Structure 1
């Protein structure tokens, strides 16, 4: 097997985050690196600049905004099958020194690990719940309905696993923002399901890996920092419906029998209704923030 380590990141006007990603990546491993930037239509020039500034980085244009999972699959297809491990990470990840080598060490301890993920820190240093159980109908519905109103509800706790011991262990799925994937495991299940344009593709991947006999291993001894949620905040009218569509697809695929058709219909109607509510709420909040910003600017000019 090749000692080269392949890294795939999907770019869509990533801005200054991409330079931070590539700079910190050099301190994350001692292995030779090949970085493929699968670009879904950036207009900020950041991927082109990165390709010039970093010898290990190469730009792969997908031709359109084909979605996260499809872009990863397209990039992985360019990687020699002899490369044993592929890293998939968002371009707004900041690698900690030695973090990738730490994940590779864990992969040696877990030969049936198809995916391994680090402890993910928020920019403020808090821990993001990146290792979770696979949502069933009960935990998924309970978390969706009560997660914001009653964060400590048992369904959210069971799903997010925030109260679990912070220890290296197999879990249901790992955040797709930073994954070390064993190529043989990834290929054995056909990679990401490209029907998921955005959101839930990592849940689906982890679930299918588990069903195929592989482990999803949480490695909290390794840490990275992730600045997440920017696109969702800017475009809630697009991102939030996409999240609900993906949630429906995940459960519908797992409840696909003919006699379960009424259940699928109920899911579609319920998630569609919830999507309209959360989008309206997000747009109101954005409008309020905009007005407050304008008022602060006006006050500054007056002063």
Structure 2
């Protein structure tokens, strides 16, 4: 569908979503209010300025209307460590360090507060492909979604490519979409798919020396999860899932 699209903007939308009234016009309006300023997009001094908005996601809601976290920081050794060792669950500290997935308690609370306090676009490293609008120039610039990743992690990889080409990525707190399938993100397929995606992203985008450290972080983070779910929380099925994920590192 992306290959044959003709419009100025392309919308990626999961089948398990409900678009709230006014969400799509709001996304288009936000793009219109943030025209491209390519002359400054590559400057480090313009890092926090939305001068090259290329990817914009709607705010996601659970079926009960509560805020559903999405996105996070771009993959790095620090953000991967923060997620894998539950740093983003810790009060105060968890709001300071970047995390790949903003699913820890502290990180989720930080994202929720941001959405409550502002109507302005919220810059992110990456956003979920659940309800993502992409400027056609981005596709012309960096290409399509990577066919080597399916379902889990393709949005992270795509936003990483976009950011590497100086495109800005953000969430619009005024455009809302209900996502009914959030529970599937904790399924076995999701866990295994995300680990495979991290391995692929490090192999494709990161320096060779980082791959060993990324694998170490994943190894010990998964080992910690196996211990927790096997001996503390007593969820043997989940422990087996993380054991399968650990086997992917071999």
Higher strand share: 1
Q: What's the counterpart of residue 3 of structure 2? A: 77
What are the Cα deviations for residues 227-266 of structure 1, in whole angstroms up to 9, with x where unaligned?
1235456xx3433211211122223434333x44532542
Distance change in 2, residues 1:273/1:245 (3 Å): farther
> Which of 101, 108, 127 does residue 174 from structure 1 map onto?
127
Inter-partner Cα distance in structure 2 for 1:282 and 1:108: 50
Q: Equivalents in 2 of 1:262, 1:201: separation in Å?
A: 22
The answer (yes or no) to whether the contact 1:240–1:275 under 8 Å persists in 2 is: no
- 1:140 is aligned to 80
Match of 2:237 among 261, 266, 283: 283
What are the within-5 Å matches in structure 2 for residues 1-303 of structure 1? 75-80=1-6, 83-111=7-35, 112-146=52-86, 150-152=89-91, 154-155=93-94, 158-159=98-99, 160=102, 161-162=110-111, 163-164=113-114, 165-166=117-118, 167-232=120-185, 236-257=187-208, 259-260=209-210, 262-267=212-217, 269-270=219-220, 273=223, 281=235, 283=237
Residue 116 of structure 1, CA deviation: 0.9
Larger Rg: 1
What do the CA deviations read for 1:105-149 (whole angstroms, capped 9, x no partner)? Answer: 11111223211112211112211223532242112212222168x
Q: Give the structure 2 partner of residue 8 of structure 1.
A: none
Q: CA deviation at 1:218?
A: 1.8
Aligned residues: 205
Structure 1 vs Structure 2 CA RMSD = 2.9
TM-score between the two structures when normalised by the length of structure 2: 0.69
Q: What is the CA–CA distance in structure 2 between the aligned matches of 1:156 and 1:85, rounded to whole Å? A: 33
Identify the structure with bigger relative contact order (alpha carbons < 8 Å, sequence gap 6+): 2
Structure 1: gaps of 5 or more residues: 1-74, 286-303
CA distance in 2, matches of 1:274, 1:248: 19
